[in-house]
Amino acid sequence: MSEWVKKRFWKTVFVKEQGSGFVILLDGRCIKTPARATLVVPSKKLADAIAAEWRAQGEIIDPMSMPFTRTSNAALDKVAHQFSEVLEHITEYGETDLLCYRANSPQELVDRQAASWDPLLAWSKNTLDAPLIIAQGVMYTAQPAQSLANLKTQMVHLNAFELSGIYDLVCLSGSLVAALAVAHNYKPASEVWDLCRVDEFWQQEQWGVDEEAQAAESSKRSEFLHANDFFTTVSSF
DSSP, collapsed to helix, strand or coil, labels residue 21 as strand
pTM: 0.94
C-alpha dihedral over 166, 36, 2, 62, to 10 degrees?
-40
Residue 155 to residue 87: CA distance in whole angstroms? 7
pLDDT of residue 6: 86
Pick the closest to residue 10 from 26, 23, 33 (CA basis). 26
Classify residue 13 by its DSSP letter.
E
Segment 47-69 shows an average pLDDT of 96
- Of 236 and 10, the structure prediction assigns the larger pLDDT to 10
CA distance 234 to 237: 9
Compute the CA torsion angle 24, 26, 31, 34 (nearest 10 deg): -140
**pLDDT value of position 133:** 97
pLDDT at position 209 is: 79
Cα 204 to chain centroid distance, Å, stands at: 25
All domains of the chain in start order, with CATH:
13-77 (3.30.2180.10), 80-234 (1.10.3580.10)
Which ranges in the chain belong to alpha helices (H)? 44-55, 67-77, 83-95, 107-128, 145-153, 160-173, 176-183, 189-196, 198-207, 211-234
pLDDT reported for residue 126: 98
Q: What is the pLDDT of residues 25-49, one digit of tens each?
A: 999 999 999 999 999 999 999 999 9
